[in-house]
Amino acid sequence: MKEGITNILKKSGLSLTDSRRRILQLFLESNNALAHADIEKLSSDQFDRVTVYRTLQTFVEKGIIHTIPSADNAVRYALCQDECSAGHHHDEHVHFVCDVCGATFCLQHTAIPQVQLPNGFKLRQVDVLASGKCNQCA
Amino acid sequence: MKEGITNILKKSGLSLTDSRRRILQLFLESNNALAHADIEKLSSDQFDRVTVYRTLQTFVEKGIIHTIPSADNAVRYALCQDECSAGHHHDEHVHFVCDVCGATFCLQHTAIPQVQLPNGFKLRQVDVLASGKCNQCA
DNA sequence: AAATATTTGCAACTCTGTTGCAAAATACTG
DNA sequence: CAGTATTTTGCAACAGAGTTGCAAATATTT
Ligand SMILES: [Mn+2]
Ligand SMILES: [Mn+2]
Ligand SMILES: [Zn+2]
Ligand SMILES: [Zn+2]
């Protein structure tokens, strides 16, 4: 796992720092999406707030994590599992938010359904945000 | 139109105040969703920031407007067109955000597609957030 | 028109996120 | 491996969004 972390950072051309290693580790260990606040708690005041923000920003730019839109307007982040690269994300999968535990999951194996737009509208991207009860809470 | 505004407020059991009349009017006049900032600009400092927040909150509670999730995490509001009541919203339609002009539309006549969830997950709601170019900007 | 209930505006506050800059850590070079 | 150049970090300060308590103003009820 330590290997994986270093590799991912190097592959993205990022210098190896404590905060980057630790935050990336948190994502690799978690099976659901993390918000900024989660990371601050989990890294228990090891790093400055600002460092966490900047690290997340960097990871998004490098295609390591992606942001997840949410109905409650709290930004969450999750590992990119497709082949995302710096500047180009390909994470058009369904996201699911559990009403009970609040956990947010990337449903990689759930197809994004077709959307019909009115005349004159040009589609670029579709985000699907499902909510309900997760398999733990149902 | 003045009639409509008064009626809507009365039907929801709300007292008739300048701010409520004005803000509701803005929604009726606009054909796309409005963010808090838009409303502040459009009502050009007629009302206090806090009043606008509270009015929007009240309208959401009463089922007059609904919030729209967005990828950029800026809350937008639009009139409920279905039969939403206090506490119960039924606005499961597709929302479209234009990449160019930023306008957000409720696509009432676009069907919400079917979503298949993994085993053990219970679906309650699906939000679809499409983006691209609107008919004005394409 | 007076009494009651609701809403407004203000001030103060919290929470989230950003920026500039000096100090510290990392990467590069010989 | 030490010395230098580059990048990243932490701090302080700031900006913006949203919330709350409370007295004054407005709306509703009688
Ligand atoms: Mn995802
Ligand atoms: Mn809508
Ligand atoms: Zn759950
Ligand atoms: Zn447009």
Q: Is residue B32 within 8 angstroms of chain A, CB to CB?
A: no
Q: What's the pLDDT at B2?
A: 47
User: Whole-model pTM?
Assistant: 0.86
Q: Is pLDDT above 90 for A76?
A: yes
Average pLDDT, chain A: 89
A121 vs B115: CB contact, 8 Å cut-off?
no
Q: DSSP string covering A60-128, please?
A: HHTTSEEEE-BTT---EEEE--S--BTTB-----EEEEETTT--EEEETTSPPPP-PPPTT-EEEEEEE
pLDDT of residue B20: 97
Report the separation in Å between the CA atom of B124 and the middle of ligand 4, taken as the mean of its atom positions.
Answer: 31
Residue A11 has pLDDT above 90, yes or no: yes
Residues 19-58 of B with CB under 7 A from strand D: 36-37, 49-50, 53-54, 57
Separation between Cα atoms, residue A23 and residue B79, nearest integer Å: 41
d(CA A95, CA A112): 10
| Residue numbers in B near A128 (CB within 8 A) | 115, 126-129
Predicted confidence (pLDDT) at residue B130 exceeds the cutoff of 70: yes
What is residue A89's predicted lDDT score, i.e. its pLDDT? Answer: 74
Give residue B82's pLDDT. 67
Write out the CATH class of domain A5-132.
mainly alpha
Among B111, B120, B131, the residue with its CB nearest the CB of A135 is B120
Q: CA A133 – C1' C12 distance (Å)? A: 39
Q: Give B73's pLDDT tier (boundaries 50, 70, 90).
A: confident
| Least-confidence region, from A40-49, A119-128, B30-39, B108-117 | B108-117
The model's pLDDT over A94-120, given as tens digits with 9 standing for 90+, comes to: 999 999 988 999 998 887 878 889 999
Tell me whether residue A80 is annotated as binding.
Answer: no
Coil, helix or strand for B82? Answer: coil
Q: What is the side-by-side strand order in the sheet with B65-68? A: B34-35, B76-79, B65-68
Q: Is residue A20 predicted with pLDDT exceeding 50?
A: yes
Q: How many angstroms does the Cα of residue B31 sit away from the middle of ligand 4? A: 12
Residue B72 confidence (pLDDT): 76
Work out the average pLDDT over B31-51.
91
Greater pLDDT, A41 or B88:
A41
Residues pairing with B123 in the sheet: A132
Tell me which chain B residues have a C-beta less than 8 angstroms from the C-beta of A97: none
Smallest-distance ligand from the CA of B108: 2
Mean pLDDT in residue range B109-127: 88
Query: How far apart, in whole angstroms, are the C-alpha atoms of residue A64 and residue A55?
Result: 11
State the burial class of residue A30 (Cβ atoms within 10 Å of its Cβ: 0-12, 13-18, 19+).
middle
User: Smallest CA–CA separation between A133 and chain B, in Å?
Assistant: 5
A84 is in an annotated binding site: no
Query: Does B4 contact chain A (CB < 8 Å)?
Result: no
Residue A2 has pLDDT above 60, yes or no: no
Residue-range domain boundaries for chain B? 5-132
- pLDDT per position as a tens digit, B43-68: 877 899 999 999 999 999 999 999 99
